Amino acid sequence: MEELKEFSKKDIEKIRKEKQREEAEKQRQEHLERERNLAEHKHSQKQKKKKTLIIAGSILAVIILAISVYAAVRALTPGTWDNFAKCLNEKGAVMYGAISWCKYTQEQAGMFGKSFKYLNYRDHTELPGIKKTPTWVIDGKWYENVQSFQTLAAATGCRYDQ
């Protein structure tokens, strides 16, 4: 017959404590695994955020570079009417106007675009007797209101073709 082994209270207490230790170790390992997973997740999130910032920064840098190149090329490109405006200036044509508030003076300036800088432009208050703006003075003759390129070319002999 088999012998039944009886466990003493001490043995039972020992077994119970061993199971508690095993359970505590298992919980500790699970806790460490959760912490490791959380740390990996946080690291992964940081890497994603860093990558996103690098991509966004690169895109922004490319956009800024493109705008800068465009602005530089545009600034260095001559105006369409540069030669015509320079000729008008050389022939002594003076445009009097009120560019800050007069829509007609602004319209005349707009016709020249970036070439306007080559015209001899003066404020209308510099010449007494001006009643309308813009007023062109060419060889002592006054031309009131916005003037076509044809009229300005005829008065000065300048060519306005591109």
Amino acid at the residue 157: G
- The predicted-structure confidence for 65-123, as pLDDT tens digits, reads as follows 999 999 888 888 888 999 999 999 999 999 999 999 999 999 999 999 999 999 999 99
pTM score: 0.58
Residue 102 region, left (φ>0) first, then alpha (ψ -120 to 50), else beta?
beta
CB 94 within 8 Å of CB 68:
no
Q: What is the pLDDT of residue 144?
A: 98
- The span from the CA of 155 to the CA of 135, in Å, is 14
Amino acid at the residue 67: I
Amino acid at the residue 143: Y
